[in-house]
Amino acid sequence: MTISVLLVDDQSLLRMGFRMVLEAEDDLEVVGEAADGSTGASMATALRPDVVLMDVRMPGTNGIDATAQITATLPDTRVLILTTFDLDEYAFAGLRAGASGFLLKDTKPVELVEAVRTLHRGDAVIAPRVTRRMLELFGTRLPTTDPAGIAAEAVEEQLSELTPREREVLMALASGLSNAEIAAHLVVSEATIKTHVGKVLGKLGLRDRVQAVIFAYESGLVRP
């Protein structure tokens, strides 16, 4: 199966570099390029790519608004935010807009390729140092409702549907742990953790691990 990728970045040299890295892989294909968010959103609607690599700061429509447009109309398309700044103030907004990943542009080629494949599998990717800095920067500013604006009572009702073990898994996700790390911490198999993660997402009505992390902080289950 070939994974189709759309590149959205206002720097043509960066798009060229991303294309060279991705198309060196047999299972990846770049199906289009856009230099701004508006064009990127339009091309995504037309091409319906599996994954979109999205810059944040671009002229006209920025990457945050473009991400919101794409994820709202194309639920099967995953957006990977790429930025030069490890303290980009738009990073958290991008994830809340529906992006499934956030990486820095200095990410190694092999890591970028694996990130695209990971998003296509339905998982999420966030650079560890970005996660830490984002939580430091935005953690104390999070509102008291979940990403969908649900009241605190409704959030508590959702959390009550989780088993004690599922709450543990959710808290571990919020700490940025991988499935393998959670499995080692809880002394169970990685397959068991994958099952728990799936149940957590299903019960909370969340799209992926990124939304699970956001939910955990916004619901007050964990604090920065």
| Successive 10-residue mean pLDDT values, the chain, 224 residues | 95 95 96 96 97 93 94 93 69 80 87 92 73 56 46 75 93 82 91 92 84 79 69
Q: Do 194 and 133 share a domain, yes or no?
A: no
Determine the pLDDT at residue 36. 95
Measured CA to CA in angstroms, residue 24 lies from 18, 28, 110, 207 at distances of 10, 8, 11, 30
Q: Which of 110, 138, 166 is at the close of a domain?
A: 138
Count of domains for the chain: 2
**Same domain, residue pair 156 and 178:** yes
How far apart are alpha carbons 114 and 121 in whole angstroms?
11
- Residue 180: CATH number of its domain: 3.40.50.2300
Instruction: Give residue 54's domain range.
Output: 3-138
In terms of domains, do 61 and 88 share one? Answer: yes
Q: Are residues 9 and 103 in the same domain?
A: yes
Q: What is the pLDDT of residue 144?
A: 43
- According to the model, what pLDDT value does residue 149 have? 47
In this predicted structure, what is the pLDDT of residue 130?
A: 60
Residue that is written with structure tokens 């945050």 in the block = 64
| Residues 171, 122 share a domain | no
CB distance 6 to 47 below 8 Å: yes
R_g of the chain computed on alpha carbons? 17
pTM, to two decimals: 0.69
Domain end residue (candidates: 138, 170, 192)? 138
Q: Which residue has the tokens 């206002």?
A: 10
Could you tell me which of 116, 4, 105, 93 has the C-alpha nearest to residue 49? 4
Per-residue H/E/C for 32-52? EEECCHHHHHHHHHHHCCCEE
How far apart, in Å, are the Cα atoms of 48 and each of 6, 32, 77, 200, 215? 9, 10, 7, 28, 28
Question: What does the pLDDT read at residue 10?
Answer: 94
Residue type, 183: A
Same domain, 62 and 170: no
98 and 71 Cβ atoms separated by less than 8 Å: yes
- Nearest CA-CA partner of 40 in 82, 72, 10, 76: 10
Question: What confidence score (pLDDT) does residue 199 get?
Answer: 93
Q: What would you measure as the largest C-alpha separation in the chain, in angstroms?
A: 50
